[in-house]
Amino acid sequence: MTSYSSFSDGTRAVHAGLPDPEVGEPFLPGPVFAAPYHLDPVTGPGANGYARTEHPTRQALESAIGALEGAPTLVFSSGQAAITALLLAVLRTGDTVAIPSDGYFTVRAFADGFLRDLGVRTLLVPTAGPYPDFTGVRLVLLETPANPGLDVCDVRTLSEAAHAAGALVAVDNTTATPLGQNPLALGADLVVASGTKALTGHSDVLLGYVSATDPELLTRVETWRKQTGAVPGAFDAWLAHRSIATLDLRLARQTANAAAVAELLLSRSDVTGVRWPGLPSDPSYPVASAQMRRIPGVVSFDLGSAERVGRFLAAAKLVFAATSFGGVHTTADRRAQWGDDTPPGFVRFSCGIEDTADLLADITAALSS
């Protein structure tokens, strides 16, 4: 397989994980639908034996994501499957894990339930700080930009502090994607992400992954996956790999739309709490502009009440009411309806790839109505 590491983001995304050219074969081979494979009668399995433990379509996707994250990668059936695999493979009874107090709420719920019952102590830390002394902490989990509040933390500085205290560092790279930032190059030990969001970007597949440069760490996660079976199906893996080719193009339009939407929202007196790390006035801007290669297409703001959010979404023609984010369609999600600890009028707004002028006109009309 040819290495494209010296090329730019768009080129790497298009060619990531593809086999070397072979006459008569497709650029991206179709999904292999198989559970068991033929075994050698004497020596047993060759490259593939059973799809839960190895699968060619899944391995091609892992090569693609690994090329972008810069490390060997394991894919999972969802982002939550990936992050729980990481936590349960690394943590043991008596350990302490630091997790974002403002990050994805299901991770906090998992820590407060299953991890607590296993005897793992949780330390909740705001993404923007202040940060505690990490002495005695086994794992520091960062999520930057945080979902849904969009605070950003300095991965390199926090990794240095955590390593000095003897802790491992994992970074949830869902919102940024590997074209937005490379946490492993900034000092993190592991990357975990939901590929359901911007990485695949078409709102048609559930996917998660874990990347790590340390073979021993990744082997522990892989053993967990083999023994629990949290693998994506062949068609999901193929869809994800196909979709990554357009990642650079999709992110470019989403970022441009987010910049325009954030400026529009800032100009309106009926919208408060506008957050986008690409705004020079945003508290996360200094770190984000230094650490990230591009800012994601997610904006957050507050319309004051659940009723007002509902009227806005009902009036909008180009904004779908939907959870998740990072897709080609613009969506908005009132996070409090899912039990997230956000104000009732808080909106996570995910910019799609629609024409910028059309999107701004639609948002303006919906807010004014």
What pLDDT digit, counting tens, does each position of 70-104 carry? 999 999 999 999 999 999 999 999 999 999 999 99
Structural contact between residues 100 and 142, judged by C-beta atoms closer than 8 angstroms: yes
**Mean pLDDT across the stretch 27-33?**
96
What pLDDT digit, counting tens, does each position of 149-190 carry? 999 999 999 999 999 999 999 999 999 999 999 999 999 999
The structure's pTM equals 0.96
Half-sphere exposure for 56 (CA within 13 Å, toward CB)? 15
What pLDDT digit, counting tens, does each position of 150-160 carry? 999 999 999 99
Classify the C-alpha dihedral 332-337-341-343 as positive or negative: positive
Residue 340: its pLDDT value, please? 86
Domains in the chain, please, with CATH?
Answer: 9-244 (3.40.640.10), 248-368 (3.90.1150.10)
User: Which band of pLDDT confidence, cut at 50, 70 and 90, is reported for residue 351?
Assistant: very high
Residue 140 is classified by DSSP as: E
Tokens of 330: 């613009």
- Classify strands 320-321 and 331-334 as parallel, antiparallel or unpaired: parallel
User: Which band of pLDDT confidence, cut at 50, 70 and 90, is reported for residue 45?
Assistant: confident
Instruction: Report the distance separating Cα 155 and Cα 279, nearest Å.
Output: 20
DSSP string, 243-302: HHTTHHHHHHHHHHHHHHHHHHHHT-TT-EEEE-TTSTTSTTHHHHHHH-SS--SEEEEE
The one-letter amino acid code at 175 reads: T
pLDDT for residue 253 is more than 90: yes
Residue 1: its pLDDT value, please? 66
Tokens of 110: 């998992």
Distance from chain centroid for Cα 30: 25
